[in-house]
A and B are shown apart, each in its own frame.
Chain A
Amino acid sequence: DTAVSQTPKYLVTQMGNDKSIKCEQNLGHDTMYWYKQDSKKFLKIMFSYNNKELIINETVPNRFSPKSPDKAHLNLHINSLELGDSAVYFCASSQERLITPNEQFFGPGTRLTVL
């Protein structure tokens, strides 16, 4: 199946731990994103990579570090987890085009709960 996949789907951990979320897309897209969706359903962009290069880095604590080993993968590592990090994290991908809109395709999400 062509899709955006994320692992794990659920992540429950203690405050202060370090955790990683992985994302892979097999759509052949050149751009990948991480979004955070809070309890109020507000979807906020965190990072964007184009051809493995970081192009968007929103106001995110530096405890969050994305890594893109290749165009098809974008991982998110979070250090020293805090209660406020609890949310659903979505990975997305798109193909950047100059003329037609480049819609994003979302992964299934990772529900992170920090205790």
Chain B
Amino acid sequence: QKEVEQNSGPLSVPEGAIASLNCTYSDRGSQSFFWYRQYSGKSPELIMFIYSNGDKEDGRFTAQLNKASQYVSLLIRDSQPSDSATYLCAVKTKNFNKFYFGSGTKLNVKP
């Protein structure tokens, strides 16, 4: 079992819709959770992090964390074509500085 699992997609949504990206993790002791966006040929860039159960909102983005279910999600409201990218979920475990990344979900936002 991989430490972090994501559906590889592609996930296609029309412009203006809500995109929902999901991630599960295996280490129950994981502490911090991150969502990165990666455009083709570019490096990952941080969108949001969350470490408490519940929702965290930042502009059009909402991260949701459910530690009991070992589940973290990212909602993108009013999706734009510029949001089309691969979204990587990352988890920081109890082990010092150990980050695990999912394989990413490719999002296509159609105009």
Task: Report A's interface with B, CB cutoff 8 A.
Answer: 31, 33, 35, 40-45, 48, 50, 55-56, 90, 94, 96, 100-109
Inside 8 A of A96's CB, which chain B residues have their CB?
96-97
Residue among B31, B49, B86, B97 with max Cβ neighbours from chain A (10 Å): B97
Inside 8 A of B103's CB, which chain A residues have their CB?
40-42
Size bin of chain B's contact surface? 20 to 34
Q: Is A105 touching B46 in the complex (CB atoms < 8 A)?
A: yes
With beta carbons under 8 angstroms apart, the residue of A31, A42, A90 that contacts B44 is A90
B88 nearest in chain A by CB position: A43
Count of A-B residue pairs with CB < 8 Å: 62
Inside 8 A of A43's CB, which chain B residues have their CB?
44, 88, 101, 104
**Distance between Cα atoms of A95 and B33 in the complex (Å):** 16
Q: Knowing A41-B103, A43-B101 are in contact, say whether A101-B44 is a contact too (CB < 8 A).
A: no
A105 nearest in chain B by CB position: B46
**Distance between Cα atoms of A45 and B101 in the complex (Å):** 8
Q: Knowing A41-B103, A43-B88 are in contact, say whether A48-B46 is a contact too (CB < 8 A).
A: no
With beta carbons under 8 angstroms apart, the residue of A50, A100, A106 that contacts B97 is A50
Name 19 extra pairs, CB < 8 A, besides A50-B97, A109-B43: A31-B97, A33-B97, A41-B86, A42-B101, A42-B103, A43-B88, A45-B101, A56-B95, A56-B96, A90-B43, A101-B32, A101-B49, A102-B32, A102-B97, A103-B46, A103-B49, A104-B90, A104-B99, A106-B44
Inside 8 A of A35's CB, which chain B residues have their CB?
101
Inside 8 A of B34's CB, which chain A residues have their CB?
101, 103-104
